[in-house]
Amino acid sequence: MITVMGATGRTGSRICQTLLAAGVLVRALGRNAERLAPLAAAGAQIAVGEPHDGAFLTEAFRGAEAVYTLLVYGPETEDYRNQQAAQGEAIIQAICASTVRRVVFLSSVGAEVPCGTGPIISMHDQEQRLRQLPPEVNVLMLRSGALFENLYGALEIVRAYDCYSDAVAPDMPVPMVATQDVADAASGALLDRDWQGIVTREVLGQRDISYAQATQLLGAAIGRPDLAYVPVSPQELAAALREAGYSASVADCYAELGEAISSGRVRAQETRSPANTTATPFEDFAQTWAAAYRALL
């Protein structure tokens, strides 16, 4: 049996489906039984509880051959760092109490950097906690590049302002990756259990893409190859995000991340290789994004 946190989410739902298709018993975790119902119908056990509840996670991890863990938040999350720390500590408590021996953690490119990386800091902190676990616990930290799906945030901006804006420098190459490829890397590891001890693996996507290139590709997919990427300062980004309903804490994190990517503080550590390069090109995502854009009009 394999336990999957965030089972209704982008990586978790695909991981559950893959594991179920492989004939594995899956315990799918989420906060809401209705949202988990499709996974129950597909044959998963479901467990309903909060990701910061160590007692809930302990029961959910008990008896699992492996667990998939991640730290989740929403744009409205107040006090991002404490919210993430509470989840991270609950996961550690549950790993210890349940004696699960294999853990996959969804981390990020840049998680080796201890500060100044916005939302990635919480993944750095969790990696540090995971490194303190007893040696019999095998931990794989999957350091994902920037998810293509972050750019769903561009939909409303393009519609309203006829351009895309962020605080990342326009020409900085960024490892961008399809969520499905990250999920598949996690599923493969959960099934193969082909690592020993504490291991990090980067998942860098099909190729690096700058924000200017990504904007051009999204524009081309909606018949607007001239769509412009207009960089803004971190301060301007934070203000715009607060205006759009993000908590000050999350808005400040994203502003810091923009600067961290632009300066190269957040960047891949591994040289590109077949092992860290995934299949899905950005152009595939651009088509899906374009369909979502047309639905907005």
Ligand X SMILES: NC(=O)c1ccc[n+]([C@@H]2O[C@H](COP(=O)([O-])OP(=O)(O)OC[C@H]3O[C@@H](n4cnc5c(N)ncnc54)[C@H](OP(=O)(O)O)[C@@H]3O)[C@@H](O)[C@H]2O)c1
Q: Give the footprint of ligand X on this chain (CB under 6 A).
A: 6, 8-12, 30-32, 35, 51, 70-74, 77, 106, 108, 123, 144, 146-147, 150
* Closer by beta carbon to ligand X, 76 or else 283: 76
Residue among 130, 139, 75, 135 at smallest CA distance from 104:
139
CB nearer to ligand X: give 120 or 238: 120
Query: Least distance (Å) from ligand X to the CB of residue 131?
Result: 17
Shortest Cβ distance from residue 144 to ligand X (Å)?
4
CA distance 111 to 76: 23
- Distance, in Å, from the CA atom of 76 to the CA atom of 124, rounded to the nearest integer, reads 22
Output 92 or 162, the one with its CB closest to ligand X. 92
CB-based closest residue to ligand X: 9
Which residue lies nearer to ligand X by CB, 35 or 242?
35
284, with CB counted inside 10 A (0-12, 13-18, 19+), is middle
Least separation, in Å, of the C-beta of 151 and ligand X? 10
Could you tell me the smallest distance in angstroms from the CB atom of residue 225 to ligand X?
25
The minimum distance between CB 192 and ligand X, in angstroms, equals 20
| Rounded distance between C-alpha atoms, residue 207 and residue 279, angstroms | 9
Nearer to ligand X, 10 or 193 (CB): 10
Which whole-number Å values give the CA distances from 210 to 28, 182, 232, 253, in the listed order? 35, 19, 15, 20
> Quick check: 61 and 100 in contact, CB under 8 A?
yes
Euclidean distance between CA atoms 192 and 188, whole angstroms: 6
Q: Cβ-count burial of 277 within 10 angstroms (0-12 exposed, 13-18 middle, 19+ buried)? A: middle
